[in-house]
Amino acid sequence: MNSLEVSNLKVWDSRTGKVLVSNSSFQVKQGSCLAIVGESGSGKSLTCRAIMRLNKAGLRQSGDILLGGVNLTKLSEKEMRKKRGKQLCLIVQNGMRAFDPSCVVGVHLKETLAWHFGWSRDDIADRMKKAMESVMLKDPISVMNSYPHQLSGGMLQRVMIALAIVLEPDVVIADEPTTALDTISQFEVIEQFIQLRARMGCSMIFVSHDLAVVKRIADEVLVMKDGEIVESGTTRDIFSLARHEYTRYLVSTKLALNHHFKKIMGGVSLVDN
């Protein structure tokens, strides 16, 4: 059974007519993690934002996106807002951009949860406190009373993961969630994503250019280049039996990061197991 089905997704610039994502089709199986990989500009983030219907105004899209059998492309913006967060949760690359810099983090959390569930402030604070503690955030109340700039990138990513735990969405989309983090924080945040899947049993789209991370977390891999899907398959097949020249290039060059992790983690490999 598939949690999410994308059929013939096309994204283009309405001003220039340039096609940015070309007729992409893929499925995310129930409870599995699909990684979308490729270099910058390959269309990974555009694909994610298209699923959420959050691309910039100048961009247009066509195709079908089914979430639990409901075609998201047919929904009004009001109906789509109800899907975002509660059923389809996006965790962005830079945690700072996910929060209003003029408000403490707790305001965003309370507004989001009150919109979807109508819970009281005390109930929201209690649920968020427990979720934040589960992702190893110390002193959750202090974190919720902090402005985004007062928290590190790793802490902000953990706050978004904690919010996902409370929302319990069907699908979590993580768009390059470790790119802006230092190496140690990357390792810790990836572990939190693995635990998130284990705890919730949710499906996940994990976008990354880092194949070392992908090998650690994904069940299946989609490879994109210049807006097109050039190869897809199980993680094992992509890493050992890649057919496309571009995929083989990514595998041979990007896994070098694993050696770096081994050094700083005292011999612990990010991609073993």
Instruction: Please indicate, yes or no, if residue 54 is contained in any of the structural domains.
Output: yes
Other residues' Cβ atoms within 10 Å of the Cβ of residue 13: 13
pLDDT score recorded for residue 254? 66
Instruction: Please indicate, yes or no, if residue 270 is contained in any of the structural domains.
Output: no
Instruction: Please indicate, yes or no, if residue 271 is contained in any of the structural domains.
Output: no
CATH of residue 125's domain is: 3.40.50.300
Instruction: Please indicate, yes or no, if residue 26 is contained in any of the structural domains.
Output: yes
pLDDT score recorded for residue 273? 46
Number of domains in the chain: 1
For the chain, residues with pLDDT lower than 50 are: 270-273
* DSSP H or E segment with residue 206: strand 203-208
pLDDT score recorded for residue 63? 97
Instruction: Please indicate, yes or no, if residue 125 is contained in any of the structural domains.
Output: yes
Residue appearing with tokens 């789509």: 80
| Dihedral pair phi/psi, residue 86, rounded to 5° | -75, -40
Instruction: Please indicate, yes or no, if residue 118 is contained in any of the structural domains.
Output: yes
Instruction: Please indicate, yes or no, if residue 269 is contained in any of the structural domains.
Output: no
Q: Residue 209 in contact with residue 254, Cβ under 8 Å?
A: yes
**Side chain identity at 138, as an amino acid letter?**
K
First to last CA, the chain: 26
Residue appearing with tokens 């979720």: 131
* DSSP H or E segment with residue 163: helix 153-167
Residue appearing with tokens 């050094």: 263
Residue 90 is part of which domain span? 2-264
Instruction: Please indicate, yes or no, if residue 228 is contained in any of the structural domains.
Output: yes
